[in-house]
Structure 1
Amino acid sequence: MLPRLVAWARRLKRDIAVLAIALRDPQAPLVARLLAAIVVAYALSPIDLIPDFIPVLGLLDDLILVPAGLWLVLRLMPDEVLARARDKAAAAPPCKRSRIAGAVIVCLWLALAIWAGRHLLLLLRS
């Protein structure tokens, strides 16, 4: 069972890299590119929709949302775009974690939280 889970996790990681490359392809449909950007950002984000410290639910969002998003985007992307992205991902050296990328993602989440908070306050005041 454990080897199957490890293989599944590696495939997910590889597919996230493939989507990150495919979303930059100009031949990819706009809807697939937008969904790919959302899935990649969510998968790489240090902030989850449901925090991991909440028992069961915190891990279920990662186990359900990311694979479901991957499945949907892989169905929407044309085969030739995915083939080119897989070739580029296989040829690319392994990525190192980037603190700058992490900081950018955290800033984007903070900006989204501030925006949502402001709009929520406006709704509550009216």
Structure 2
Amino acid sequence: MLKKIEAKAKELKKQTLTLYLAYTHKRVRAYKKAFLLMIMIYALSPIDLIPDFIPVLGMLDDLIIIPLGIMIAIKIIPHEIWEECREEAEKGVSIDPKYKKIGAGFIICIWVIALILMLKGLIYYKS
């Protein structure tokens, strides 16, 4: 079972590299690149939307959101571009570290907004 999980993790990493290469591809339209960027920064972010220490839900977001996003990306990117990027990812590519920082910033912003809304709700509820 551990080998199966390891194989899935390797495949997910390759698909994330393929996402990155599709994002940087010249023939991919801007609106598709925006979707690819969202999935890519979420996948690369060192901070999760739902932290892993929360039982079940913490791992569930990684097991559902990222594969679902990749599945949609495969559908919206032309097949020949996806295959070209996948082959290039097989050779080995490093992703620019700035995307990890962008991803972390994005997740932090979501948490800050959620906390502000919760605090406003508490203040409104008490008054």
What is aligned with 1:6?
A: 6
Shift of 1:102: 4.1
Shift of 1:83: 1.9
What is aligned with 1:46?
A: 46
Q: Distance in 2 between matches of 1:13 and 1:43?
A: 9
Shift of 1:91: 2.5
Contact 2:20/2:95 (<8 A) preserved: no
Shift of 1:56: 0.7
What is aligned with 1:91?
A: 91
Q: Distance in 1 between matches of 2:19 and 2:96?
A: 18
Deviations 1:33-72 (A, max 9, x none): 2221111100111121111111111110111111111111
- The reply to whether residue 64 of structure 1 matches residue 64 of structure 2 is yes
Shift of 1:77: 0.7
Q: Mark the CA change 1:82 to 1:108 in structure 2 (over 3 Å): closer, same or farther.
A: same
Percentage identity across paired residues of the two chains: 31
Q: Mark the CA change 1:96 to 1:31 in structure 2 (over 3 Å): closer, same or farther.
A: closer
Root-mean-square deviation (Å): 3.0
Q: Per the alignment, in what secondary structure is the counterpart of residue 37 of structure 1?
A: helix
Q: Per the alignment, in what secondary structure is the counterpart of residue 13 of structure 2?
A: helix
What is aligned with 2:18?
A: 18
* Unaligned stretches of 5+ residues in structure 2: none
Count of residues in Structure 1 that have an aligned counterpart in Structure 2: 122
TM-score (norm 1): 0.75
Deviations 1:2-23 (A, max 9, x none): 3222211111110000000101
Contact 1:43/1:66 (<8 A) preserved: yes
- The reply to whether residue 31 of structure 1 matches residue 31 of structure 2 is yes
